[in-house]
Amino acid sequence: MSRPKEVIISVTNRCNCSCIMCNIPRSAPEELSFEVVIGIIDDAQALGASTVVFSGGEPMLQKEIFQLVSYAHGKNMSACITSNGILIDEEAAFKLSEAGVNVVNISVEGPAAVHDSLRGEDTFDKAVNALRNLAKAGIETTIATVISRYNYKHLKGVAELALKEGVTTLKFQPFSELFLSPDSTSAAGFFLSEEEASELETVIKEVIDICQKNGIATNPYFYLKKIPAYLSGRLSLEKNTCSALWDSCPIDSSGRVYPCWVLNQDKYLLGNVKNKRLIDIWESGRHRNIRESILREGCRGCMMSCYDEVYGTDEIEQKIYSSLKNIRNRGFPEWIRANSKKTVRRFRFFASYRGGAKKIIKRFRAVFKYHVPDYPLEEKTEIRNELQKLEDAKILLDKQKRDKDS
């Protein structure tokens, strides 16, 4: 059985926001006990997971969240929190730092008026203050944004906010009906018309440009490019063999374990950590059978940002073709010089990043996913490394295509 990369624990479904795109706060309160979460972390480490994500609801409402983060850190696992930021004042930020949290994701939906209309009065100021408090405490931050008709015009402003506040990653997620209860009638209002989708295409290009120029990590290029078509109903999601079933293990606030957040129907239920160990659930025959059926038939497909790596194959292919086209049009020496300048700009950005060497290296790996050049480089070494980058990407692309065909 494969080892999960991360275990995502919804420690509570309680929330101090009333977001119009989410029905979680309207559900009956459910929360995992401290002892149950500790057992999950123990089993996650035994399974080989390197990351624990504490989500909700609002995980900062879990009164023992600092102890849980500290416990995961003590197990040499990365600890991540997904939060609305309301409870992260300066004291809480430094307590999270002392506990050993690695990354905190803060939700920002647009400028103050837009954000507050979606999440509640004064929540924008509290989210921005959370980003600043976390920065003071030396904690890496991510901004998470749900794209819908209500905020699609303001995404450039979110990217500019990320740049201003020193955020290292900006993750976008198109609205999904999965966020609402099955009987909800309000989902239609979140989707886009054809004209609005065309506007969003322009906005996304601007966002990508800001992120690329300033070294801010974001979703795969082809994932972002598909969002307008998805929100306007033009995108037919193809069946695929998404790696989420092998890499990720989501656990909801009642202890139920599913193959992924999308396959959360009773027929896919793998077990409950309240009465069965996570190790046994992960390695169960039922889990294996569901995976095998997905391999045979393909997953129905989704646009959940936590599974956006499935769009990485398109991105690798585009990088290869784009690089070869640039080499042909500009000439090899000029292409090398241009890429070297771009890499130096990114290096300077990371060199100015407030954090230790370990954090800087971590951010390098996040952005330069396939290759990280060393400095200084002589021209011959630069040429070899650029060629190797293309070769590595081509090998990975071929492997993913073979896996998909098999």
As a whole number of angstroms, the distance between CA 360 and CA 352 comes to 9
CA torsion 363→365→366→367, rounded to 10°? 90
Strands 103-107 and 271-272: unpaired
Which residue carries 């996040």 as its tokens?
366
| Residue 179 φ/ψ, nearest 5 degrees | -75, -20
Per residue in 57-91, pLDDT (tens digit) is: 999 999 999 999 999 999 999 999 999 999 999 99
The SS3 assignment for 175 reads coil
Whole-structure pTM value: 0.76
For residue 327, the tally of other CB atoms under 10 A from its CB is 16
The type of residue at 371 is H
* Cβ atoms of 37 and 260 closer than 8 Å: no
Q: Tell whether omega for the bond before 48 is within 30 degrees of 0, i.e. cis.
A: no
Greatest distance between any 2 Cα atoms in the chain? 64
Phi, psi of 88 (to 5 degrees): -95, 80
Please measure the distance between the N-terminal and C-terminal CA atoms of the chain and give it in whole angstroms: 18
Three-state secondary structure call for residue 1: coil
CA dist 331 and 287 (Å) reads: 52
For the segment 339-395, what is each residue's pLDDT rounded down to a tens digit?
666 566 555 544 544 455 555 565 555 544 434 334 344 444 555 566 666 666 666
Neighbours of 384 (CB within 10 A): 12
The 3-class secondary structure across 28-97, one letter per residue, is: CCCECCHHHHHHHHHHHHHHCCCEEEEECCCHHHCCCHHHHHHHHHHCCCEEEEEECCCCCCHHHHHHHH
For residue 208, give the H/E element and its range.
helix 194-214
**Enclosing H/E stretch for 104:** strand 103-107
Contact between 94 and 56 (Cβ < 8 Å): no
Instruction: Sort residue 298 into left (φ over 0), alpha (ψ -120 to 50) or beta.
Output: left
In our burial notation (b when 16+ CB lie closer than 10 A, e otherwise), range 190-205 reads bbbeeebbeebeebbe
Residues in the chain predicted with pLDDT less than 70, given as ranges, are 1, 25-26, 181-185, 238-241, 307-332, 334-406
For residues 268 and 314, is the Cβ–Cβ distance under 8 A? no
Q: Before 182, cis peptide (omega within 30)?
A: no
